[in-house]
């Protein structure tokens, strides 16, 4: 199955700044997904990223706040813009696999 390298693994950021999270897949994948996971909670889908098209955002998430790039079939980035403490969370990328998803190891973001 595919393997995803996600970085950074964690970061502490000042409010008002932006952080870009990168995910590199070791094989070509059609669909990539970005999730947010609050501590002790389930995963909330932020957006779906397909190569060559704009990302599709879920209700409650907007492109200005979470711009996503998908320049090729093995790479994607998520930017958390103009951060506030409410953005403190774990952010996970995933990609479609033979069955189900493969996930990156997550980025633990703390906004102070």
Partner 1 sequence: GEDVEQSLFLSVREGDSSVINCTYTDSSSTYLYWYKQEPGAGLQLLTYIFSNMDMKQDQRLTVLLNKKDKHLSLRIADTQTGDSAIYFCAESRTNAGKSTFGDGTTLTVKP
Map the footprint of partner 1 across residues 65-84, applying CB under 8 A: none
Instruction: Check residue 89 for interaction with partner 1 (CB under 8 A).
Output: no
Q: Which of 30, 60, 86, 112 binds partner 1 (CB under 8 A)?
A: 30
Neighbours of 16 (CB within 10 A): 10
CA angle 59, 73, 71 (to 5 degrees): 70
Burial of 97 (0-12, 13-18, 19+ CB in 10 A): middle
How far, in Å, are 33, 45, 93, 111 from residue 55 at the CA level?
Answer: 9, 12, 13, 25
Map residues 32-71 to x or -, x wherever contact with partner 1 holds by CB under 8 A.
Answer: -x-------xxx-x--x-----------------------
Q: Which is nearer to partner 1, 3 or 82 (CB)?
A: 3
Q: Which residues bind partner 1 (CB under 8 A)?
A: 1, 4, 6, 30-31, 33, 41-43, 45, 48, 92, 94, 96-97, 99-106, 108
């Amino acid at each position: 199955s595919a393997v995803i390298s996600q970085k950074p693994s964690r970061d502490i950021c000042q409010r008002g700044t932006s952080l870009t999270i990168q995910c590199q897949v070791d094989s070509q994948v059609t669909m990539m997904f970005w999730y947010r996971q609050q501590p002790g909670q389930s995963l909330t889908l932020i957006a779906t990223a397909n190569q060559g098209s704009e990302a599709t955002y879920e209700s409650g998430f907007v492109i200005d706040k979470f711009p996503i790039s998908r320049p090729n079939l093995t790479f994607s980035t998520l930017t958390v813009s103009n951060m506030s403490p409410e953005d403190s969370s774990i952010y996970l990328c995933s990609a479609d696999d033979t069955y189900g998803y493969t996930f990156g190891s997550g980025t633990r973001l703390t906004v102070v």
